[in-house]
Structure formats: C-alpha cells, structure tokens
Amino acid sequence: MEIADVVKRAYAMPLTNPSFPPGPYRFFDREYIIITYRTTREALEAVVPAPLEIDEPLVKYEFIRMPDSTGFGDYTETGQVIPVKYKGQHGGYVHSMYLDDDAPIAGGRELWGFPKKLANPKIAHEGEVIVGTLHYGSVLCATGTMGYKHREADHDSVLAALAAPNFLIKIIPHVDGTPRICELVRYYLTDITLKEAWTAPAALDLRPHVMADVAKLPVLDIVSAVHFKADLTLGLGEVVHDYLADHDRVATSKAQPEKIRA
C-alpha cells in the first residue's frame, strides 16, 4: 500500500477494516426518555470543563433506543447531558454515555469525542410504565421509570431542545501517553422529524459504580420528563476550543521575561 493510499483510506481504525462507515448518520424512529433532575452545583462544577458555564444545576438523564440507524445499526444508549452555556449560547454538555454496540462506540469516540463506554442499557414498556435501566456488567447502576403517554408534550419545545448545540471533550492520546488532541467540540442534530412527544411523572434512581459514575451527579428532585420519537441526522462536529493550544499560549506567555521599565 502506497503512502498516498494510506492517507486516502485513513478515516477510521483499523486502516483496512474500519469499525464504521463514513457519515452522515441518519436515525429512524429514535426513541428518547429524558428525565430532567436537579443536582448540586458543586457536583456540576467538578465535571463541567471551562470555557463552558453551568446554566442551572440540572442534569438530563437520557435513555435512547436506536432501532434503525445508517452505519451504526440497532442499539440502546443511556447517559447524562448537562445544560450549559458557551459564549452566551445555550446547549448541552455530554457528560456520560453507556451503550451496547461496538460501531457507535468506536465512531462516537473517534469522530466527535463522545464519552462512550460499553455497558447494557435497556428500555422496556411494562404496562402503563416505561422503564429504563443501565447495567454495567452485573451491577444495576440506573433505573428510570415514567408514566406512559399521560399528556402530549409541547412539540415546539422538544424540537428546540433537539436543535440546540451539544458539546463534547475530544481526547486523543499521543503514543507516549500525553494528550495529542484535547478539544471542545460542538455538534448539532439536523433534519429532525418529531413523530410524537409525551410527558408524565417520572422517577430516577442512580447507584454508585467505580466505572459508571452516574451517581456522582446526585438526584435531588425530578423537574420534568419527556418521551418522544424522532427521525434525525447526527451532524459532524466542529472544534470551538483547543485546550492544548491555549495551554501552550499561556505557558509561553508566562515564560517570557517581563520588560524592564525605562
């Protein structure tokens, strides 16, 4: 294989047999259960990276069922998104994600910097209740329950939330273990078709686990819950802040001797 061929083919790993195809990535009948809860500002301050700013001490715990997606297949995901601001723009910081399929784990981490880990989330419809669970190995780490389609949710509000920007920290290590890439990435969901949206009472139980630390953002009280289905496209990202470049700039500035006043 010639050098030019390596560069041409090198969009993902492994070089000759990538885990996922090139995008864009379209999702059909994507089902969400999002339980918004209040937590402590101190817990958020420990995990939200600057230059993002905490909007309110809220967390959106999400269970997402993806039965049909181009390139990534059929899988289920769960995790926490924190409402934040970036230069006055309201959006969400993706803090944690747990899912059960290799392709979206590899693609999510390599392309955008999604904080994806392999686990076993589930969404089940049990009579008049929707149940979301997260197992990491044999340990139950999260349980969310929500009433089934009690009241129709405001579609404009749901669409506005889906269309808002999302932020990630993309980290790629160098071969010596130091960071090679450390960037704040922004991405959007596009071409959204909201099919249905409902609200109902909900409950959420998060439990400690050393490798699935969802309980480190404790649940104080439930604010709201929404259950909806949509078709949408996961847009590719853009870098909005380069942490390494900023660090190097600050280090260089500090290393320069102060000018002696005449």
Read off the tokens for 197.
């949206």
Q: What is the pLDDT of residue 258?
A: 54
Terminal-to-terminal C-alpha distance of the chain: 63
The burial of 5, by beta-carbon neighbours within 10 Å (0-12 exposed, 13-18 middle, 19 or more buried), is given as exposed
Tell me what pLDDT residue 246 has. Answer: 77
Q: What is the three-state SS of 147-172?
A: ECCCEECCHHHHHHHHHCCEEEEEEE
Structure tokens at 191: 């071409």
Residue 116 is among the residues annotated as catalytic for this protein: yes
Q: Which of 60, 85, 87, 116 is catalytic?
A: 116
pLDDT of residue 262: 44
C-alpha closest to that of 240 among 165, 163, 164: 165
Q: What is the pLDDT of residue 194?
A: 98
Q: Which fold has domain 24-253?
A: Acetoacetate decarboxylase-like (2.40.400)
What is the rounded distance in angstroms from the CA atom of residue 68 to the CA atom of residue 29? 7
Task: Identify whether 24 is preceded by a cis peptide bond (ω within 30 of 0).
Answer: yes
Q: Are strands 75-86 and 68-69 parallel, antiparallel or unpaired?
A: unpaired
For the full predicted model, state whether its pTM sits above 0.85. yes
What whole-number distance in Å separates Cα of residue 47 and Cα of residue 41? 10
Sequential pLDDT tens for the chain (262 residues): 899 999 988 889 999 999 999 988 999 999 999 999 999 999 999 999 999 999 899 999 999 999 999 999 999 999 999 999 999 999 999 999 999 999 999 999 999 999 999 999 999 999 999 999 999 999 999 999 999 999 999 999 999 999 999 999 999 999 999 999 999 999 999 999 999 999 999 999 999 999 999 999 999 999 999 999 999 999 999 999 999 997 767 666 666 655 544 4
Which of 57, 30, 67, 59 has its CA nearest to residue 230? Answer: 30
For residues 119 and 76, what is the distance between their CA atoms, to the nearest angstrom? 10
